[in-house]
Amino acid sequence: MSDVTEKQEKQEKQEKQEKQEKQEKQEKPAVDVQIDDRIQVTKGEYNGEKASVINIYNNTIAVNFDNVKQNDGSSLRTVVKHDSYKKIKG
């Protein structure tokens, strides 16, 4: 029976190592925007709208839209996923 447990341990160890290597390969790309940069939304409800970056998070950025206003007249603030915008100049 010790042969079986040794094989299981080897297999588990190998699977764990493969899983760790896979996670290392899937590291997130560096976010190329900074606070106060200008972006244009490329997906979703606000597609085509321009905004300025307020804050940067792991999966999203917080933005303040230029031309999208709330009912009280203030500029709309929301979050946008990293794959849903592109950086623009100006």
Q: Which residue has the tokens 């976010």?
A: 31
Q: Is 41 exposed, middle or buried (0-12, 13-18, 19+ CB in 10 A)?
A: buried
Q: pLDDT by residue (tens digit) across 44-76?
A: 999 999 999 999 998 999 999 999 999 999 999
- Banded pLDDT at 6 (limits 50, 70, 90): confident
**Residue 71 lies inside a defined structural domain of this protein:** yes
Does this model's pTM top 0.75?
A: no
Q: Which residues in 49-73 are b (16+ Cβ under 10 Å) and which e?
A: bbbebeeeeeeebebebeebeeeee
H-type alpha helices, the chain: 2-25
Q: Is 34 exposed, middle or buried (0-12, 13-18, 19+ CB in 10 A)?
A: exposed
**Residue 24 lies inside a defined structural domain of this protein:** no
**Residue 69 lies inside a defined structural domain of this protein:** yes
**Residue 53 lies inside a defined structural domain of this protein:** yes
Confidence (pLDDT) at 7: 86
53: domain CATH number?
2.30.30
Q: What percent of the chain has pLDDT over 90?
A: 59
Domain with 75, as residue range(s), is 38-88
Number of domains in the chain: 1
